Amino acid sequence: MQTLLHPTGFVDSPFGHDGKVAQLAGGLCWFDAVELLSVEGNKRVASELVPVEQLEQRLDEPMAAQWQALTGKRPPLQLGERTVRLDQPQVMGVLNVTPDSFSDGGRFADAGAAADSGADMAAEGAAIIDVGGESTRPGATPVWQGDESERVVPVIRQLAGSGAAVSIDTRKSEVMTAALSAGARLVNDVSALTFDPRSAEVVVAAGAPVVLMHHQGGPETMQDSPRYDAVLVEVYLWLEERIGAAEGAGIARSNILIDPGFGFGKTVAHNLELMNGLALLHSLGCPIVLGASRKRTIGALSGEAPADKRLGGSLALALIAAGLGAQIIRAHDVFETVQALKVWRGLRDQALTPRV
């Protein structure tokens, strides 16, 4: 039996609540209760809601470690000369240099146009530009690593040369190596370093941060019939195992970010359950990346709206993620997402201004 700590009971402000509230991951969110989830195997077997002020007397050693992870500050990412603070939500702009991406395939097949679009994203407020050369949409087929490198390297080189912080979205070690040499400073691996046995070695050698994303199955088959006993618990335990594997390979925990894998081997119901329980993942002690922009779940909830008509739903999920403490929001529509988060930030700043 294992107990997981799920923060809940979010409050606008800590003022006047000394000892009754806690700060989530050193960020802008505060909570006054914790749901203790009793887990056996992959299943949630019981839960109990405990006020923060009563929690200390309930913590055994494993729970105390979770509590420290849950409330501890996340250090900033150092991406070359760029520092990305993680005490507030940041936007990662999605730049697909592919002919078959689910949302914008073919728009940026030309390296110059792609780099210009990435520069526009940076100007609009994206802290990181995430460049990908292989579609991982449901049903996508693998791309040869040489072709993938040829797609991304010129774009990364131009963006990095202009001063942008660039990440490489790939699951292949050869592409990681080429991208890091071209100026990428973060690796975003949808396979969580499971696809290519040399990937961890490349990340360690570069000293680069890495995003470990949960998935069930590969892009070709992941949406055929995804099944979980309890999706939130299983994603948590799977990511816990992958963090341990990454650390065992020599990657510092401070260089590990996690992504619950919205839409990667999950039904609409699975995705919604993950979003509702997202704050649980802070107990793993790593910054959370959330990539729900333009995903099919939005279309399924809005009359099967096509990918280019999912801005409203993307912004709704971005704001919910920010309210649950996610540090990085991956977005196609950078200007609108940055603006929405600025308004959210304004509300939080006002709530966190001491009352006279």
Same domain, 261 and 343: yes
Instruction: Mention every residue, 6+ apart, whose C-beta is less than 8 A from residue 142.
Output: 134, 219
58-71 pLDDT, tens digit each: 999 999 999 999 99
Which positions are catalytic? 295, 330
DSSP state of 288: B
Q: What is the rounded average pLDDT of the residues 79-100? A: 93
The CB density around residue 315, as the number of other CB atoms within 10 Å, is 20
Report how many domains make up the chain. 2
CA distance 278 to 288: 9
Same domain, 154 and 28: no
The residue from 71, 97, 119 where one domain ends is 71
The residue from 71, 95, 123 where one domain ends is 71
pLDDT at residue 261, rounded to an integer: 96
Same domain, 67 and 215: no
pLDDT greater than 50 at residue 102: no
Same domain, 64 and 187: no
Mean pLDDT, all residues of the chain: 93
Give the DSSP per-residue string, 326-342: -SEEEES-HHHHHHHHH
Q: Return the percentage of the chain with pLDDT > 70, whole number.
A: 94
Same domain, 53 and 148: no
Same domain, 222 and 266: yes
pLDDT at residue 43, rounded to an integer: 87
* Amino acid in the structure at residue 45: V
pLDDT at residue 103, rounded to an integer: 55
289-326 pLDDT, tens digit each: 999 999 999 999 999 999 999 999 999 999 999 999 99
178-233 pLDDT, tens digit each: 999 999 999 999 999 999 999 999 999 999 999 999 998 666 655 667 889 999 99
The residue from 50, 71, 92 where one domain ends is 71
CATH number for 330: 3.20.20.20
135-181 pLDDT, tens digit each: 877 766 788 889 999 999 999 999 999 999 999 999 999 999 999 99
Same domain, 28 and 171: no
Same domain, 122 and 181: yes
CA distance 138 to 332: 18
Record the pTM: 0.94
Domain range enclosing 8: 2-71
Same domain, 61 and 182: no
pLDDT at residue 342, rounded to an integer: 98
Positive/negative CA dihedral, 310, 27, 127, 186: negative
Q: What is the rounded average pLDDT of the residues 263-271? A: 94
Same domain, 183 and 238: yes
185 is a domain residue:
yes
Q: What is the rounded average pLDDT of the residues 18-29? A: 97
pLDDT at residue 81, rounded to an integer: 92
Same domain, 235 and 201: yes
pLDDT at residue 7, rounded to an integer: 98
The residues with which 78 forms a beta bridge, in sequence order, are: 83
Same domain, 37 and 129: no
pLDDT greater than 60 at residue 105: no
Q: Return the percentage of the chain with pLDDT > 90, whole number.
A: 87
Q: What is the rounded average pLDDT of the residues 321-347? A: 98
CA distance 241 to 197: 16
356 is a domain residue:
no
Alpha helix segments (H runs only) across the chain: 52-55, 61-71, 111-123, 145-161, 173-182, 199-206, 231-248, 268-276, 296-300, 311-323, 334-351
252 is a domain residue:
yes
CA distance 48 to 5: 10
208 is a domain residue:
yes
141 is a domain residue:
yes
CA distance 135 to 118: 18
* Amino acid in the structure at residue 135: S
CB–CB of 117/143 below 8 Å?
A: no
21 is a domain residue:
yes
CA distance 63 to 5: 7
